[in-house]
Structure 1
Amino acid sequence: MTVKGGAAKRSFAAALAVTAALALSGCAGLGSSFGQSARNTDTPFGNYLAGRYAGAERDLDAASSFLGKAMEQDPDNSVLIERAFIVAISAGDMDEAAALAEKSLETGGEERLARLVLALSALKSGDYEDADRHIREAAPGPFTALIGTLTRAWAAAGQGDGDAANAILDTFKGRPAFELFRAYHAALIAEYLDQPEAADTAYREAVSASAGASLRVVEAYGRFLERTGRTDEAASLYRDYEALSPEHPLMKANLARIAKGTKPEPLVTHPAEGAAEALYGLGSALAQESGLDLSIVYLQLGLYLRPDFDVARILLGDIYERAQDWKTAITTYEGVDSSSPLRPNADIQIAINYDRLEKTDEAEARLRDLQERMPGSIDPVVALGDIFRAQELYAEAAKEYTKAIGILGEVGPENWSVLYARGVCYERLKRWPEAEKDLKRALVLSDEHPLVLNYLGYSWVDQKLNLDTAMEMIRKAVDQRPQDGFIVDSLGWAHYRLGNYEEAVKHLERAVVLQPDDPVINDHLGDALWKVGRKIEARFQWRHALEMKPEEDLVPQIEAKIEYGLEGAGARQRGEADLPEPANGTEDKGA
């Protein structure tokens, strides 16, 4: 059926309004009606629904296809155009996005993002006047105000007008939230226009505004210092950042470059690259605040302006991982240049995502290859160990961690987690003396990290060893991480082992609230509830623990407790002759 006429369009618009209302409660709001609508691909509304659903599932190829069909039937529908426009940007199809931006303006759709895309396209092609015009004609908005202003500043810089660029940036003065953007882009523009004194002043302001914690500011200023012969200052800047982010691959590459005496290019050599920095900065900020979909849009725009922007590509891959879109994350990481210092990190994440897709052989092959290419790096070794440990292949994992420790020679504070991970594996393999040795060393090297405090303390409690010390360690861990269900569970279990059953119940009930899907915590709560006479509740927790598919060795223990009660299960395990009859489960202190 072809949709024609005003009445049909009004009907479609009304249907879209209903869909928008449903979308406020998530895509599940489409419910079972989606299947019928998806099959009816002769209607623009059916294709719209299918495209919207595919977009929500991040199947952007399918979303683009469905929306394209809908637009063939209703080519001037601004809602369809806007949706297809967003999908095109999210998929990184900027040619299609630019075409849809033009169409969106013609049909009266959302114009701010459309004009931003057209401005960026003009900036990339060197049409700085047109870039400026699109931003000036755009309606004001919170994000376009920031990116639009910076785009205009770079358009002015592209025309060689530093005074105009600075005047545009000065509109940010007095607005603390934008101060770092202002100082950083003033520095980049001054360096681009060959104004070293102004660049140096602005870079110092940017470093101060970011407290030296901005990777891009450190990269840009460090390169500037290297290029102006101030390599000692550059090296100091890089090392200060390394103190915040140890072993950062870009800082290692920068320091290696200084050692070779090679001068780098400026971080930004074209106005489009400057605008890409702005888009990355906003995309990064949104990603930290859970604005993942909008962050993807800005990062894709940044990559359009600067395809070799590997830092942005790594962040984009990380966002897809957070969205559990492992396949798209792999594709994104594959785009990192093979010569980039960030490529090994990308390869490790690709392997991790293959494992998440249950393609562990591919993950292992990728990491083995990386180990061969980087024999002096522990990163691919530890990553493979982590994959094995997550799959409960503790012996294989311990071998990888031992290999990593061999590469290190001597484990320092920055690598305490390798000892901790191997200690966990040894504990699971019932090689307790070796586990205890590793965990004790990790405790010292980590300056009593809560994970180590908890694991070592819990292990002691579980074996009824060093109970007073263990209790003190677990309390420290809880003080540091009061919202961690596993650590709170340890405190409850320590009280249980000490016979403080009422106190154990209090902490274990809270642990279940914090970590409701863990079978061990639910099993522990069942034990504690039984001890205080709440036996119906205890059996409920044990049954709940069984439903969560605990480790195989726990299953018969939990089943025995359900059938015979806590004491009866213990008697059966000890092989005592006079076994109690199965309990009927009706007794309960609170009943």
Structure 2
Amino acid sequence: MSDSYRAIADLFGTNLADESQPAGPIKQGRSADESDQLGKLSLEAGKYQEAIEHFKRAVEQRDPNDVSSRIDLAGALESSDQFPQAYRQYMKALNLKGDEVEPHAGLADLLKRHGKFRESLEHLRQGLEKDPNSAFLNFKMAETLRDAGAPRRALEYAVNAVVIKPDDPFFHYWIGDLHTVLGNYEEALQSLRAAVELSPGDDFYYLRCVVPFWNSGMRTEAIKAVRLASDLNPEKHLYHGILEELLRANGQDEEAELEVSRSSQMDRYDDDMLDRFLDELKF
């Protein structure tokens, strides 16, 4: 291999195969379950084509009416951006076993990624008809409605998810963020408080409290929320950048100066995140 190829690979962080050690054959599962497990391990390692081959083998090893491996195959195809093939596998699963909800969920996500919100919502509706007590499907319906520009309609399904799984902090956080977008800051704080109480060690949930606090005039509480987030994740320079901005906006310049040494260590990604966050705060 020429030095120029090695230099390009090094520049872009690409792993080069060792030509002196030709790759051996992919290990094959002796059963459907083993093939599925190998597929999932390959998927986690980012080896999409290997995962696809393992899941194809699992499909062949399973009873034709068992669509679990076919759904995994569709997911692997989607992960490798083979969208038409993924769509066909989801549809095959649906045709083989119409009472399964997973193909509807998979198709809904696939269609949403291509901007086909109406078709996506229809698959979620059909999935919910089969399993109305699925917190996941209710959440996906809420998420898709929000992304389709209908946040108020999304609330109903987000609340359903919380009612079904009241101990899941993520659903409370998600409703809190939705209320924040709608300007319902009191309701947002109620939901975000529930998320924080259920998962007090998660700095991100404290951070999300900042926007409704600040935008409803509770500046002291907003600053305190950032400090709590920073205490939980002291290595995150972004929090010091946010603190500096909030303290200056609140007339606390001396305290803001104490954050400069850490906020100056933010990278470009942090700078972009800070700009987006300040937009939420209407700076």
**TM-score by structure 2 length?**
0.73
Q: Is the 8 A contact 1:384 1:400 kept in 2?
A: yes
Structure 2 equivalent of residue 361 of structure 1: 118
Q: Would you say 1:290 and 2:46 are equivalent positions?
A: yes
Q: In structure 2, do the counterparts of structure 1 residues 470 and 389 end up closer, same or farther at CA, with 3 Å as the change threshold?
A: same
Instruction: Report the CA distance between 1:306 and its aligned residue.
Output: 3.1
| Correspondence for 2:80 among 310, 323, 326 | 323
Q: Would you say 1:498 and 2:247 are equivalent positions?
A: yes
Structure 2 equivalent of residue 455 of structure 1: 208
After superposition, the C-alpha distances for 1:430-486 in whole angstroms (9 at most, x for unaligned) are 11111101110121123443331221145435651314531332214535xx67xxx
CA distance in 1 between counterparts of 2:149 and 2:203 reads 22
Task: Report the 3-state secondary structure (helix = DSSP H, G, I; strand = E; otherwise coil) of the residue aligned with 2:220.
Answer: coil
Instruction: Report the CA distance between 1:294 and its aligned residue.
Output: 2.0
Instruction: Report the CA distance between 1:396 and its aligned residue.
Output: 2.2
| Correspondence for 1:445 among 198, 206, 213 | 198
Q: Is the 8 A contact 2:241 2:274 kept in 1?
A: no
| Correspondence for 1:412 among 130, 155, 166 | 166
Structure 2 equivalent of residue 379 of structure 1: 136
Q: Would you say 1:435 and 2:188 are equivalent positions?
A: yes
After superposition, the C-alpha distances for 1:276-297 in whole angstroms (9 at most, x for unaligned) are 4433332221111111122212
Q: Would you say 1:395 and 2:149 are equivalent positions?
A: no
Q: In structure 2, do the counterparts of structure 1 residues 498 and 341 end up closer, same or farther at CA, with 3 Å as the change threshold?
A: farther
Task: Report the 3-state secondary structure (helix = DSSP H, G, I; strand = E; otherwise coil) of the residue aligned with 2:159.
Answer: helix
After superposition, the C-alpha distances for 1:515-549 in whole angstroms (9 at most, x for unaligned) are x7x5x63467xx9xxxxxxxxxxxxxxxxxxxxxx
Q: In structure 2, do the counterparts of structure 1 residues 451 and 316 end up closer, same or farther at CA, with 3 Å as the change threshold?
A: farther
After superposition, the C-alpha distances for 1:95-131 in whole angstroms (9 at most, x for unaligned) are xxxxxxxxxxxxxxxxxxxxxxxxxxxxxxxxxxxxx
1:78-477 correspondence to structure 2 within 5 Å: 142-144=24-26, 146-147=27-28, 274-306=30-62, 308=64, 310-336=67-93, 343-391=100-148, 393-406=150-163, 408=164, 411-413=165-167, 415-460=168-213, 463=217, 464-467=219-222, 469-477=224-232
Task: Report the 3-state secondary structure (helix = DSSP H, G, I; strand = E; otherwise coil) of the residue aligned with 1:366.
Answer: helix
Instruction: Report the CA distance between 1:338 and its aligned residue.
Output: 6.3
CA distance in 1 between counterparts of 2:96 and 2:232 reads 42
CA distance in 1 between counterparts of 2:212 and 2:233 reads 16
Instruction: Report the CA distance between 1:405 and its aligned residue.
Output: 3.8
Instruction: Report the CA distance between 1:142 and its aligned residue.
Output: 4.6
After superposition, the C-alpha distances for 1:494-517 in whole angstroms (9 at most, x for unaligned) are 222113157358437625335x7x
CA distance in 2 between counterparts of 1:417 and 1:342 reads 28
Moved over 6 A (4+): 338-342
CA distance in 1 between counterparts of 2:23 and 2:183 reads 60
Structure 1 equivalent of residue 16 of structure 2: none
CA distance in 2 between counterparts of 1:450 and 1:328 reads 40
Instruction: Report the CA distance between 1:419 and its aligned residue.
Output: 1.7
Q: In structure 2, do the counterparts of structure 1 residues 386 and 467 end up closer, same or farther at CA, with 3 Å as the change threshold?
A: closer
CA distance in 1 between counterparts of 2:148 and 2:232 reads 26
Q: In structure 2, do the counterparts of structure 1 residues 404 and 280 end up closer, same or farther at CA, with 3 Å as the change threshold?
A: closer
1:534-545 correspondence to structure 2 within 5 Å: none
Q: What is the aligned residue count? A: 258
CA distance in 1 between counterparts of 2:133 and 2:47 reads 38
Q: Aligned residues: percent identity?
A: 15
Q: Is the 8 A contact 2:209 2:222 kept in 1?
A: no
Q: In structure 2, do the counterparts of structure 1 residues 389 and 451 end up closer, same or farther at CA, with 3 Å as the change threshold?
A: farther
CA distance in 2 between counterparts of 1:376 and 1:280 reads 27
Q: In structure 2, do the counterparts of structure 1 residues 325 and 504 end up closer, same or farther at CA, with 3 Å as the change threshold?
A: farther
CA distance in 2 between counterparts of 1:505 and 1:325 reads 46
Q: In structure 2, do the counterparts of structure 1 residues 362 and 402 end up closer, same or farther at CA, with 3 Å as the change threshold?
A: same
Structure 2 equivalent of residue 7 of structure 1: none
Task: Report the 3-state secondary structure (helix = DSSP H, G, I; strand = E; otherwise coil) of the residue aligned with 2:226.
Answer: helix
Instruction: Report the CA distance between 1:341 and its aligned residue.
Output: 11
Instruction: Report the CA distance between 1:375 and its aligned residue.
Output: 2.6
**TM-score by structure 1 length?**
0.38
CA distance in 2 between counterparts of 1:380 and 1:331 reads 21
Q: In structure 2, do the counterparts of structure 1 residues 477 and 355 end up closer, same or farther at CA, with 3 Å as the change threshold?
A: farther
CA distance in 2 between counterparts of 1:472 and 1:337 reads 49
Bigger relative contact order (CA 8 A; separation at least 6): 2
1:466 aligned partner, one-letter code: E
Gaps of 5+ in 1: 1-16, 26-139, 151-273, 528-549, 558-591
